[in-house]
């Protein structure tokens, strides 16, 4: 049975209404919705009678179109589907429609071999295979790439109609980086598919540049009453000619990219080029060099990284450097894995020996970010670089880098009740040659600061007098030194004496033990951490090389302070 365009629009509109469970639909409501839909498609008022919609409902209920829609009337005036997940779009294709599709496929196949048919070739094959499987109920003969779980495909037809009719839209969108959704006016120009994902290209404002939005991040679309803004300089046929993927910068010049591909991967790249500008430049016994004239963007980097060790960037230098950094970061992600065995070992070592080292807790990328943020903050605020206190209060943005998965696993392995009480940043410049002699850090909590004869220095601790003796406090506290630079015996690494943390030592005992013991030199790479117990006997090595050494010192405790007092920098983990 032939179905004209207006009838299909009415069926689809009624279907959408009846799928909406958040309102009740009378016959007049359905008539109004159908009239609005036809107005949008036709651009003029179309008279929709009560009898027309009643016949549509009857047709949808029947098997004439293969819908057999479970439409019921309740409370004698409201319409709804009796099945929650029903939609006519999920209905199987009727035999009559299959026959027409077969005829359409046969007609289209007549044009195979013509140049203008090339872009339609795969579409016809998909259609032919689908018709075959529906008619014979056999398994598909062609397995096309698809993603059944891809979100946003329901907006494809809607967006196509808005582009076709040059209509502005109100779009509700939430990117992967955004914390919440945002609704704004958008002027759509082009739909783009890349790697089985769909994007819409358009503008938010007349004087702004083009932007692409992923359909799987769209939440809702409504027609806007604002007049459509067209960009006369936008050309859909040339917009992507100098780029791979969907990330295009109209102001960005193309660059001459040279890539060397080894002999194993070369056939795949030569038979399926990265870009239409790809040319073979040179060939040897080990591989082939190709050239591309493209913009440098994220998608190009993904194509290169996808071939792993089988490809090397020859030029430009900026792209080579970027790919190297990404590969280093990828390896770093594996190197910074901490397993449960390592955690148990370092927790026991800290308990019995008073110290522990764990390399590669933070990636090089994390360390680069930390150093950059410290340097920027100190420069902008003219802050003292050595011994800067209350770091996380001054720079709360550091938490997203510091308190990562490895950090939390490590702290919980040592003391599941521990919380952060202090954060201090030390930046030892290359010109500093100071060092500290053998000593113990004695944990003392005080209520107020008073100058006492013979007392050399104070720290801004906030706490309470005599919560418990230092030896008891040391069992429930520990510190972590996060190294932002490589630390060796030549640039001031800590020397520690294992097991010296179990008691408070006198000056004579410190002298005796340090003179007659072989200390452990805590050499550790950037991104690693050093764990220390209070009272551990330690000193710093004398600096013999002029290298910068930056350390973030964190202190932890599981002792709750009484009488409503709080630690100055408490951070629950």
Please tell me which residue, 68 or 43, carries the higher pLDDT value: 68
Q: What CA–CA distances, in Å, run from 273 to 246, 270, 301, 536, 568?
A: 17, 6, 15, 62, 60
**Confidence at residue 478, expressed as pLDDT on a 0 to 100 scale:** 92
**Confidence at residue 291, expressed as pLDDT on a 0 to 100 scale:** 95
Give CA–CA dist 130/448, Å, rounded: 81
Q: Average the pLDDT over 376-381 and give the result.
A: 89
The yes-or-no verdict on residue 176 having pLDDT over 70 is: yes
The yes-or-no verdict on residue 501 having pLDDT over 70 is: yes
Instruction: Kindly tell me the burial class for residue 218, based on how many C-beta atoms sit within 10 Å of its own C-beta (0-12, 13-18, 19 or more).
Output: buried
Report the 3 state secondary structure along 132-194.
HHHHHCCCCCCCCCCCCCCCCHHHHHHHHHHHHCCCCEEEEECCCCCCCCEEEEEEEEEEEEE
What value does the CA radius of gyration of the chain take, rounded to a whole number of Å? 35
Please tell me which residue, 525 or 125, carries the higher pLDDT value: 525
The yes-or-no verdict on residue 48 having pLDDT over 80 is: yes
The yes-or-no verdict on residue 2 having pLDDT over 80 is: no
**Confidence at residue 113, expressed as pLDDT on a 0 to 100 scale:** 47
Give CA–CA dist 373/370, Å, rounded: 5
Q: Average the pLDDT over 189-208 and give the result.
A: 87
Residue 34 contacts residue 58 (beta carbons within 8 Å): no
Q: Average the pLDDT over 467-489 and give the result.
A: 77
Tokens of 66: 């293969």
User: CA angle, corner 179, sides to 173 and 180, nearest 5?
Assistant: 45
**Confidence at residue 132, expressed as pLDDT on a 0 to 100 scale:** 59
153-223 has the same fold as 5-90: no
CATH number of 5-90, picked from 1.10.540, 3.40.50, 1.10.10, 3.30.1120: 1.10.10
* Protein fold of 153-223: SH3 type barrels. (2.30.30)
**Confidence at residue 282, expressed as pLDDT on a 0 to 100 scale:** 92
Summarize pLDDT for 107-140 with one digit per residue, the tens.
555 545 444 455 555 555 566 556 556 556 666 5
The yes-or-no verdict on residue 487 having pLDDT over 60 is: yes
Summarize pLDDT for 529-559 with one digit per residue, the tens.
999 998 899 988 777 777 788 999 999 988 8
Report the 3 state secondary structure along 414-428.
HCCCCEEEEEEEEEE
340-557, superfamily in CATH?
Answer: q2cbj1_9rhob like domain (2.60.120.620)
Give CA–CA dist 35/52, Å, rounded: 11
Average pLDDT of the chain is: 82
Confidence band (pLDDT; 50, 70, 90) for 92? low
The structural domains of the chain, with segments of one domain joined by +, span 5-90, 95-136, 153-223, 255-334, 340-557
The yes-or-no verdict on residue 481 having pLDDT over 90 is: yes
Q: What CA–CA distances, in Å, run from 218 to 158, 182, 200, 213, 268?
A: 12, 10, 10, 8, 35
Beta 211-214 vs 197-203: how paired, if at all? antiparallel
**Confidence at residue 455, expressed as pLDDT on a 0 to 100 scale:** 47
**Confidence at residue 451, expressed as pLDDT on a 0 to 100 scale:** 59
Give percent of the chain with pLDDT exceeding 90.
Answer: 31
**Confidence at residue 37, expressed as pLDDT on a 0 to 100 scale:** 84
The yes-or-no verdict on residue 392 having pLDDT over 60 is: yes
One DSSP character per residue, 285-343 reads: SSEEEEEEEE---HHHHHHHHTTGGGEEEEE-HHHHHHHHHHHHHHHHHHHT---HHHH
Q: Which residue has the tokens 């004239």?
A: 293
Q: Is the pTM of this model over 0.75?
A: no
Q: In this structure, which long-range contacts are made by residues 330-334, counting pairs with CB atoms below 8 Å and at least 24 apart in sequence?
A: 330/305, 332/360, 332/363, 332/364, 332/365, 333/363
Q: In this structure, which long-range contacts are made by residues 67-75, counting pairs with CB atoms below 8 Å and at least 24 apart in sequence?
A: 67/11, 67/91, 69/15, 71/18
**Confidence at residue 462, expressed as pLDDT on a 0 to 100 scale:** 39
**Confidence at residue 294, expressed as pLDDT on a 0 to 100 scale:** 93
Give CA–CA dist 222/340, Å, rounded: 51
**Confidence at residue 531, expressed as pLDDT on a 0 to 100 scale:** 93
Residue 320 contacts residue 328 (beta carbons within 8 Å): no
Confidence band (pLDDT; 50, 70, 90) for 1? very low
Summarize pLDDT for 437-464 with one digit per residue, the tens.
898 887 655 555 555 565 444 444 433 3
Backbone angles phi, psi at 351, to 5 degrees: -70, -45
Within 13 Å and on the Cβ side, how many CA atoms surround 136? Answer: 11
Summarize pLDDT for 254-289 with one digit per residue, the tens.
999 999 999 999 998 999 899 999 999 999 989 999
Confidence band (pLDDT; 50, 70, 90) for 410? very high
Count of positions (residues) in the chain: 573
Please tell me which residue, 40 or 242, carries the higher pLDDT value: 242
**Confidence at residue 233, expressed as pLDDT on a 0 to 100 scale:** 86
Tokens of 415: 């003391």
Q: What CA–CA distances, in Å, run from 529 to 340, 402, 441, 453, 547?
A: 17, 12, 18, 37, 19
Q: Which residue has the tokens 């406090």?
A: 473
**Confidence at residue 458, expressed as pLDDT on a 0 to 100 scale:** 44
Highest mean pLDDT among 85-94, 484-493, 560-569: 484-493
Nearest Cα to 88, choosing from 65, 67, 57, 70? 67
Give CA–CA dist 17/252, Å, rounded: 46
The yes-or-no verdict on residue 491 having pLDDT over 90 is: no
Please tell me which residue, 138 or 304, carries the higher pLDDT value: 304
Summarize pLDDT for 420-437 with one digit per residue, the tens.
888 999 887 766 666 788
Give CA–CA dist 506/503, Å, rounded: 10
Q: Average the pLDDT over 354-363 and give the result.
A: 90
């Amino acid at each position: 049975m032939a179905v004209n365009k207006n009838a299909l629009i009415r069926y689809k509109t009624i279907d959408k209404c009846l799928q909406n469970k958040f309102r009740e639909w009378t016959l007049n409501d359905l008539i109004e919705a159908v009239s609005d839909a036809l107005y949008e498609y036709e651009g003029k008022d179309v008279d929709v009678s009560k009898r027309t919609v009643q016949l549509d409902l009857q047709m949808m209920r029947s098997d004439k179109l293969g819908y057999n829609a479970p439409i019921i009337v309740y409370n004698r005036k409201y319409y709804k589907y009796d099945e929650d997940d029903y939609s006519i779009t999920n209905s199987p294709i009727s035999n009559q429609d299959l026959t027409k599709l077969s005829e359409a496929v046969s007609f289209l196949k007549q044009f195979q071999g013509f140049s203008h048919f090339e872009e339609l070739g795969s579409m016809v094959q998909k259609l032919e295979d689908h018709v075959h499987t529906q008619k014979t109920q056999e398994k598909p003969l062609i397995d096309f790439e698809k993603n059944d779980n891809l979100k946003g495909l329901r907006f494809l037809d809607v967006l196509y109609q808005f582009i076709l009719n040059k209509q502005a839209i109100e779009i509700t969108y939430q990117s992967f980086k955004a914390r919440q959704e945002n609704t704004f006016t958008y002027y759509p120009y082009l739909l783009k598919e890349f790697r089985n994902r769909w994007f819409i290209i358009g503008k938010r404002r007349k004087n702004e540049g083009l932007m692409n939005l992923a359909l799987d991040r769209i939440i809702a679309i409504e027609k806007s009453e604002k007049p459509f803004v067209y960009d006369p300089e936008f050309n859909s046929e040339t917009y992507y000619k100098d780029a791979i993927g969907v990330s295009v910068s109209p102001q960005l010049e193309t660059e001459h990219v040279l890539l060397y591909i080894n002999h194993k991967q070369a056939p795949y790249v030569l038979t399926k080029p990265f870009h239409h500008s790809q040319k073979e430049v040179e060939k040897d016994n080990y591989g082939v060099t190709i050239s591309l004239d493209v913009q440098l963007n994220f998608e190009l980097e993904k194509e290169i990284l996808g071939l792993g060790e089988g490809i090397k960037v020859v030029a430009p230098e900026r792209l080579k450097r970027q790919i190297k950094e990404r590969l280093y970061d990828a390896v770093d992600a594996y190197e910074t894995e901490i397993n449960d065995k390592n955690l148990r070992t370092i927790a026991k070592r800290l308990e019995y020996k008073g110290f522990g080292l764990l390399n590669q807790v933070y990636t090089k990328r994390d360390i680069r970010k930390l150093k950059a943020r410290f340097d920027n903050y100190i420069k902008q605020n003219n802050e003292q670089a050595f011994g800067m206190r209350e770091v996380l209060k001054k720079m709360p943005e550091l938490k997203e880098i510091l308190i990562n998965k490895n950090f939390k696993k490590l702290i919980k392995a040592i003391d599941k009740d521990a919380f952060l009480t202090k954060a201090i940043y030390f930046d030892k410049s290359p010109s500093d040659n100071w060092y500290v002699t053998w000593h113990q850090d004695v944990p003392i909590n005080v209520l107020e600061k008073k100058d006492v004869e013979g007392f050399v220095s104070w720290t801004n601790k906030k706490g309470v007098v005599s919560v418990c003796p230092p030896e008891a406090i040391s069992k429930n506290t520990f510190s972590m030194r996060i190294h932002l630079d490589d630390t060796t015996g030549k640039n001031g690494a800590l020397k520690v004496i294992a097991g010296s943390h179990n008691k408070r030592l006198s000056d004579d005992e410190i002298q005796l033990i340090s003179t007659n013991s072989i200390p452990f030199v805590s050499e550790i790479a950037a991104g690693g951490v050093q764990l220390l117990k209070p009272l551990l006997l330690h000193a710093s090595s004398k600096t013999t090389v002029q290298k910068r050494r930056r350390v973030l010192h964190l202190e932890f405790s599981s002792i709750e302070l009484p009488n409503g007092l709080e630690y100055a920098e408490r951070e629950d983990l």
